[in-house]
Amino acid sequence: MWADRFDGLLEDIFELQDKVASSVAGVIEPALQAAETARSAGRPTANLTAYDLYLRAYAMVWSSARQIPEALRLMEQAIARDPYYGPALAWAAHCSFRVCLDGASKDPGADRRKGADFARRALEVGGDDPNVLANAAIALAYFGEDIGAMVGLADRAVTLNPSFARGWYVSGALRCWAGQLDAAIEHVAASLRLSPRARVGNSLALIGRAHFLSRRFNEAVPKLLLAIQDDPSYPEPYRSLAACYAHMGHLDEARAIVARLHEITPLVVPGFTQFRNREHRELLLSGLRLAAGEAT
């Protein structure tokens, strides 16, 4: 699972120990989760327990954005079997926010209410589980809870487990929504260092968006293009890239991205209410509306 080497001075042995421990934990945790997921996927559906349902849904969350609605359905089945299953409640909250974000919800109002309820129930039963804290925080932040409080939950998750790559990613996402763009990039980069081979979130899309909101358009474009390649069914990098091209004056490229976006979601121009900074929200909206207007 893990192999690496470190160079350091014996005078700094305790710092070196911490570095090795953090690296080992960051690699082994997602590897074990992937092994459990693979083991579960081969079992007959009729014999699945709540844990098996959870693992199948967890695998779908990371397969592609297109699988999120099915992942939510399986998480809800797991919760029906065990209403106090904290991780399933937290991931159901995450999936509820994602179907709204991606434009895959048939009833966004109901999914928002349901997702917020899942997140609050997860926090009630989840205790100090970093996964529960992180997933509940990002869902509740999207649904309108105080962003500072949700950043605090993410910070608590990474304090409890400094090697928790998903926690660092969520911390970065929340800081991007709060307008703390350089900190967002720094925290997502930390998640990538801890777990370079396992998906813990749409890291390239988030880094690209943070560069875009910082008006570093030339740095944003390659990250967003790679994010689209990584998951062509995820709408967010298309939205950011179309807006970015529009602000750069590359309207042909912007129109082409919007055309591709239309193929995967009916929600081309969302409200972007998760972004608390008004200037950042307007930069996204104005660029995307320009791109979408040129496309129509």
Mean pLDDT of 123-149: 95
Please provide the average confidence, as pLDDT, over all residues in the chain: 90
Q: CA dist 13 to 7, 8, 85, 287, Å?
A: 11, 8, 41, 51
User: Are 109 and 141 a contacting pair, CB within 8 Å?
Assistant: no
Band of pLDDT at residue 2, cut at 50, 70 and 90: low
Q: What is the structure's pLDDT at 139?
A: 98
Q: What's the pLDDT tens digit per position in 23-69?
A: 777 777 776 776 666 554 444 333 358 999 999 999 999 999 999 99
pLDDT above 50 (res 295): no
Instruction: Report the candidate in 36, 99, 38 with the shortest Cα–Cα distance to residue 72.
Output: 99
The token pair at 34 is: 């992937």
Specify which of 7-21, 190-204, 280-294 reaches the highest per-range mean pLDDT: 280-294
Band of pLDDT at residue 6, cut at 50, 70 and 90: low
Q: What is the structure's pLDDT at 44?
A: 33
Q: Domain 9-197: what homologous superfamily?
A: Tetratricopeptide repeat domain (1.25.40.10)
Percent of the chain past pLDDT 90, that is, above it, reads 78
pLDDT above 80 (res 21): no
Query: How far is the C-alpha of 251 from the C-alpha of 259, rounded, in Å?
Result: 12
Cβ atoms within 10 Å of 149's Cβ, excluding its own: 11
Query: How far is the C-alpha of 103 from the C-alpha of 108, rounded, in Å?
Result: 8
Mean pLDDT of 254-267: 96
Q: What is the structure's pLDDT at 38?
A: 56
Please determine whether the domains at 9-197 and 202-296 fall in the same fold group of CATH.
Answer: yes
Q: What is the structure's pLDDT at 17?
A: 77
The token pair at 173 is: 């996402």
DSSP string of 171-238, one letter each residue: HHHHHHHHT-HHHHHHHHHHHHHH-SSS-SS-HHHHHHHHHHHTT-HHHHHHHHHHHHHH-TT-HHHH
Q: What's the pLDDT tens digit per position in 167-218?
A: 999 999 999 999 999 999 999 999 999 988 778 889 999 999 999 999 999 9
Tokens 């496309």 found at = 295
Q: What is the structure's pLDDT at 200?
A: 87
Domain boundaries of the chain, sorted by first residue: 9-197, 202-296
Q: What is the structure's pLDDT at 37?
A: 60
Fold of 202-296: 1.25.40
The token pair at 185 is: 């990039």
Q: What is the structure's pLDDT at 198?
A: 76
Query: How far is the C-alpha of 50 from the C-alpha of 86, rounded, in Å?
Result: 12
Q: What is the structure's pLDDT at 282?
A: 97
Coil, strand, or helix at residue 265? coil
Mean pLDDT of 98-122: 97
Of 219 and 128, the structure prediction assigns the larger pLDDT to 219
